[in-house]
Structure 1
Amino acid sequence: MAGSAAVTRNTLRRQIADALRDEVLAGRLPPGTEFTVKQIAEQYGVSATPVREALVDLAAQGLLESDQHRGFRVRAFTLDDFRGMIEARTLIVDGIFRRLVERGTAPGCGERLVSVRRRAEEACRAVQSGSLEVLIGYDLRFWRELSGLVGNTYISDFLHRIRVQCWAFAVPHLKAAPDLNAGLWSGHNELIDAVTRGDADEVRRLVHAYNQHGLDWAATLTTADA
C-alpha cells in the first residue's frame, strides 16, 4: 500500500509540474506571478506534498524562483539571460548535429525519425497558422526527439531545459508583438530532411540560421526598448 501511495504522489507531482509549466509557456502565468503551495493545492484539489515537490522541480528547471517567506514566483528572464541560452544552445546543438551526420543516429532510430518528421510538419503548420501554444508543444517535442537520436539523455535533457526557458522568455514578447510570425522559426522540415540525407553542410547552415534567428529577434527587442 505504501508503494502505491508513493506512485500516486509521484504521478500527481509530474502532472502538476507539467500543468504549471504549460501555463507559464502559454503566458497565462506571466513573469513575476507569485503563488503559494496552499494556493496551488487548493486550485488542483490535492494535498500540499505533491504540489510542493512539483514547485521545487520547476524551480530546479529554472522556471520558478523560491522565496522562503512568500512562496514561489514565475522567473522573469532578461535579454541577457536569453542571449546566454542561445549561446549555450549553439555550442551544444552544433556538436550534436555534427555527430548525427558524421556518425549516424543511435541504433534503431528509423521509426523515431518518422516521429520527428511528424513533429516538424505539425510545428511548421502551427507557425503558418500563428498558433503559438500549439507550436511550442510540437517544437519542444521536435527538438527533444531530434537531439535524442544521438542516444545521450544528459544532452537531450539539458537542451530541453534550455529550450523551455527560451520559450518562457519569448512568449510574453511574442504575444505583445504586432507581427507574431516575425519572431517564429519554421525550418523544422528542412532540418530533418538534411539530417536524414546526412548533409553535414546543410545541417550546419540550418542550425546556424536557427540560432541566428533567435539573436536577431532579441536585437529587435533591444531596439524597441531603446
Structure 2
Amino acid sequence: MPPHLRMFLALLIGTASRPEALLQLTREQCDLKHGVIDLNPPGRARTKKRRPRIPVPEFLRSWIESVSFGPLVTYKSKPILKINGAWRAARNAAGLSPEIVPYTIRHTMATELITRGVPEIEVASLMGHAMPNLRTTGRYVHVRPDFLANAKQAIDEVASAIDRVAARSMVNFNMRANSVLDSTAKDDTPMHKSQKTVGFLPEQMVGATGIEPVTPTMSR
C-alpha cells in the first residue's frame, strides 16, 4: 500500500471511526499529552453522526507523531477527499472481495471489541452511537483516567495480532523467495547482486511488516 493508504488503514483500525471523519482528521485534533482524539473538528456542528472523543491506542501514537501538523491522511502533501481508487487497487492486489470497503474495518473492529468482552457502553461511545446515559455525560467522560480503557486495550490487542500475522507472512514470503533464488542459482543463470539479497528477517523489513508508519528512513 502507498503511505497515505497505510495511514488511513491504521486510523481505521485504531479508531473504528467513519472513513470521512478520518480523511478530515488533523494533527491538531490529536492530544497525545492527554491521550485523546477529538474526531469533531473545531467549528463543525455536532450532527446525528456523532464524532466522539476517543482514546489514543498505544500503537497509533507513532503514526500520529509522524505528522507535524494538518491532515493526517495526505497524498503529495495535500488533503484527500476520497480514497476509493487507492483502496480498490490495494484490495485487488490482495485478492479480496469487492465487498471489502473502508466501512468493513469499522464494522469488523466493533465486532472484535464485542467479542473480546468490551462493555456495550464503551463500544457505543467509541463508535459515536447514541445511548441514553451517554447523552448528558458524553461531554465529560473523556477526562476520566479509565476513559474507554477496555476498548483501548482491545484495539491494541487487535493491532498486535495483525502485527504477528504480518511478521509470519513476511517469513513465509522470504522462504519462498529464497527457494526460487536457490533453484535459479542451480541453473547457473546470472543474477544481479541485489537479487541475491531478497530474503530479510521481519524485523529488518520495518516498513513492510506490521503496522508501523512509513518514515523517510524506512523508505530508504
Q: Rg: which structure is higher?
A: 2
TM-score, scaled relative to structure 1: 0.27
Q: Which has the higher helix share?
A: 1
TM-score, scaled relative to structure 2: 0.28
